Structure 1
Amino acid sequence: MASGRIVDLANLTADDIHWPDIVSALSGLARYDAATSNCLYVVAQHSCLAHDNASGPPVARLLALLHDAHEAFIGDITTPTNDFLDYLNTANGAVSFLDYPNGATGAVSMLIHVAKRRLDSAIFAAAGIHPDEAATYRPMIDALDARLLATEVRDLCAESEKPGAWGKLAEPLKTRIKPWGPDKAAEEFAARLALYGIDGRGAG
């Protein structure tokens, strides 16, 4: 991690979560593998926008802020990457590298999903969020994430040469996105953490 800390991803616990490392990683991590049009749009800003547009009690907004915090440890694994790995695992003649029944389609995506949820458990625990709260507000956050995707496609991505490449998108937010860049994104993310008594700036 940016602090020099080493973590065991297979056995991550709440005690392993150093919030300045989360801030540093997410503010330097580009959404869409940086395939945005003439701008750098980072995960920390995406997370702040999720927080600011979330409905419900404070814990729901905190969950929205942290919904992609696992990417501080494993990066932003894009949908095309998921699909490519699933293809390699099931393609005719390819070697199945997962011990999964019949090399079923979606095996890699499922494994990535499980990995994210395990990391989320440690992160949410460090933030004082109960697992039941995370489960309660996940549908709301998933719906909000879909609206953010639609907004990001509208405001930040060049028009695709393949019509319908993004599939059916949700209704975008009315407010247009202006990329902050890494430094402002780090400051804004840390400021939102502070609203919940979480120190994203400190050391030690």
Structure 2
Amino acid sequence: MDWKRNRVVAVNVGVGPTIMLHSGAWFDFCAPADSQFTIEDIAHGLSNICRYSGQCRSFYSVAEHSLLVSEVAAGCEFEALLHDAAEAFLGDITRPLKQMLPEFKRIEAEVERAILDRFGVVGPIPPQVKQADLRVLAAEQRQIMPEGTDGWVRGQKVEPAPVVVQYLPPDEAKTAFLDRFERLRQDYAQRKVQ
């Protein structure tokens, strides 16, 4: 048996830049809005991606980070939960590297827009979410990174958020993300009607 001919490939380059998702659907980087991704695909991906390129004390997922930002972003909890959702398909590229990749930033914006549209989020992510993200970043760096990593906070007007990183295992982070998504989605829909 020729293993090369009979293996399942999780990257489909024959039809364009696509990847297979946890659900079995294909995600097309050139047409993210047409891709059949689900919130379960997003939760699964985020719960299995470690922040800081894995350079932290212990495994700390993007899903847990998103939960913490959602807790801090009063009035924008749903949008905050989804603020890093594109990373489920793109990975968590560290900020210094991302700044060197303008084409990546364009792709990320398109994927983010497709996700927000899929789940009914109107407009761009509110600026309060970015502020909550910075506050959580300051708090988590003090907890999970080597001393001094949070030195950028000095001189900034960023108050570290009162959150505690729990280092949730992927299955727990995924379940917590999905549970919060369902609760917040209902609240967000009611808020849009008012």
Quickly name the TM-score band, shorter chain normalised. 0.7 to 0.9
Instruction: Report the aligned-residue RMSD.
Output: 2.0
The corresponding residue for 1:172 is 160
For 2:59 and 2:160, locate their aligned partners in 1 and report how far apart those are by CA, in whole Å.
20
CA contact (8 A) 1:45 1:189 kept: yes
How big is each residue's C-alpha offset from its partner over 1:11-53, in whole Å with a ceiling of 9 and x where there is no partner? Answer: 111662311111110000000011111x110000001111111
1:140 matched to 2:128? The reply is: yes
CA contact (8 A) 2:138 2:150 kept: no
Hey, which bits of structure 1, 4+ residues long, moved more than 6 A? none
Larger RCO (CA under 8 A, 6+ residues apart) = 1
- Segments of 5+ residues of structure 1 without an aligned counterpart are 87-107, 198-204
SS for the counterpart of 2:30 is: helix
1:127 matched to 2:142? The reply is: no
1:154 matched to 2:142? The reply is: yes
1:49 matched to 2:68? The reply is: yes
Q: Which has the higher strand share?
A: 2
Query: Could you tell me which amino acid in structure 2 is paired with residue 12 of structure 1?
Result: P
C-alpha displacement at 1:163, in angstroms?
A: 9.1
For 1:25 and 1:82, locate their aligned partners in 2 and report how far apart those are by CA, in whole Å.
19
Calculate percent identity across the aligned residue pairs: 31
The corresponding residue for 1:10 is 30
Q: 1:185 aligns with which of 162, 173, 182?
A: 173
For 2:120 and 2:63, locate their aligned partners in 1 and report how far apart those are by CA, in whole Å.
20
Number of positions where the alignment pairs a residue of Structure 1 with one of Structure 2 = 163
TM-score (norm 2): 0.76
For 2:169 and 2:62, locate their aligned partners in 1 and report how far apart those are by CA, in whole Å.
10
For 1:50 and 1:23, locate their aligned partners in 2 and report how far apart those are by CA, in whole Å.
15
TM-score (norm 1): 0.73
For 1:68 and 1:14, locate their aligned partners in 2 and report how far apart those are by CA, in whole Å.
20
CA contact (8 A) 1:30 1:41 kept: yes
- Segments of 5+ residues of structure 2 without an aligned counterpart are 1-20, 187-194
The corresponding residue for 2:80 is 64
For 2:96 and 2:121, locate their aligned partners in 1 and report how far apart those are by CA, in whole Å.
31
Q: 1:21 aligns with which of 28, 37, 41?
A: 41
CA contact (8 A) 1:15 1:126 kept: no
The corresponding residue for 2:96 is 80
SS for the counterpart of 2:44 is: helix
CA contact (8 A) 1:17 1:122 kept: no
Q: How does 1:99-138 map to 2 (within 5 A)?
A: 108=101, 110-131=102-123, 134-135=124-125, 137=126
